Amino acid sequence: MQLLVFILVYPVLWLISILPYRLFYWFSDGVYFMVYRVVGYRKKVVRDNLKLVFPEKSDKDLKRIEIAFYKHFCDMFLEMVKTMNLSKEEVKQRYSVLNIELLQEIEKEKSILIVCSHYANWEWNVSINNYVKSKGYAVYQKIVNKYFDAWVKKVRARWNTVLITQQETVRVVVSNLKNNVTGIFGMVSDQSPQPHRAQYWTEFMGIKVPVINGAEVMARKMDLAVVFLKVSKVKRGYYQAEFIPITLAGSETEPHEITDRFLRLAEQQIHERPEYYLWTHKRWKHQDKVPHEFI
């Protein structure tokens, strides 16, 4: 069944990926109409999230953010598909990097952990590896369909990126340290863990929730540099990346320092242009389960 689904879906994705950009974004407009106006995909989740996080905003402002989000959401999803046939030259034009020199200097000495949130176009973040010498690794969750999983890995390999699971990350970092090899590891770190697995609860966008602190644990144990990746949407189909150092020596930080700094930077980014955050994600679903010790 998995192979059949892949055989049926792959040609459609490939055809979308080769569309000229004008037609490509017209198609995205059509997808937006179906997703938002007809189907109403996760509309209640988006509205509840926006009302929770921005209680001070008027209904008119929240509606504007909601509509802008869904338009961006459809663009971003299709831009992920566009990656199939996106050349290095094209991605450099559409995903520019302001201060890559920061990574280039740090990678001479140690491995780097890049943390980011579900903001703008995180799919094209892997193109950063076109500018550095170190091997790039992106931490991801395996796709259930093994054929799509293998395909995604192949696409990322074009940009010098190896996809590894969270469980594999520590092993790769340890191996690199033993062999005196630096690597660059990218992690989307704003997910919501299960309450019983969370080791840290704190406020994110003013709401106390469980947070993932795996990046911090790894950085402190293995003395990694940690850099926040801030991606801004310049205009439709164009993004700009900027690196903000959190620490150059993870082992010298205090408990929760890296995680808290990441969350504040992510919040700042969301407040600037909230329509580019992933509001369909149930990020605050565990807010009413705060353990007594974290109250």
Q: First and final CA of the chain: distance in angstroms? A: 47
CB atoms under 10 Å from CB of 126, counted, come to: 25
For 100, 205, 265, the CA distances from 63, given in Å and listed in that order, are 37, 19, 25
Nearest to 236 by CA among 276, 281, 278: 276
Are the C-beta atoms of 239 and 232 separated by less than 8 Å?
yes
- pTM attached to this predicted model: 0.94
- Residue 178 is predicted with a pLDDT of 87
Alpha helix segments (H runs only) across the chain: 2-17, 21-32, 43-53, 59-82, 88-94, 100-106, 146-157, 166-178, 214-222, 257-272
The domain limits of the chain are: 2-288
Q: In the prediction, which pLDDT does 126 show?
A: 86
Amino acid at 236: R
- Exposed (0-12), middle (13-18) or buried (19+): which is 213, by Cβ within 10 Å? buried
The first and second tokens of residue 160, run together, are 């010098």
pLDDT for 14: 93
Confidence at residue 295, expressed as pLDDT on a 0 to 100 scale: 63
- Residues 247-285 pLDDT 10s: 999 999 999 999 999 999 999 999 999 999 999 999 999
In three state form, how does the secondary structure of 60-72 look? HHHHHHHHHHHHH
Q: Is the pLDDT of residue 294 over 70?
A: no
Over residues 218-239, the pLDDT tens digits come to: 999 999 999 999 999 999 999 9
Q: What is the structure's pLDDT at 195?
A: 82
Per-residue model confidence as pLDDT tens digits over 117-132: 999 998 899 889 889 9
Give the tokens for residue 206: 């003013």
**Cα-based torsion angle of the residue sequence 269, 273, 278, 281 in order, rounded to the nearest 10 degrees:** 80
The Cα 30–Cα 74 span in angstroms is: 9
Split at pLDDT 50, 70, 90, the class of 111 is very high
pLDDT exceeds 80 at position 292: no
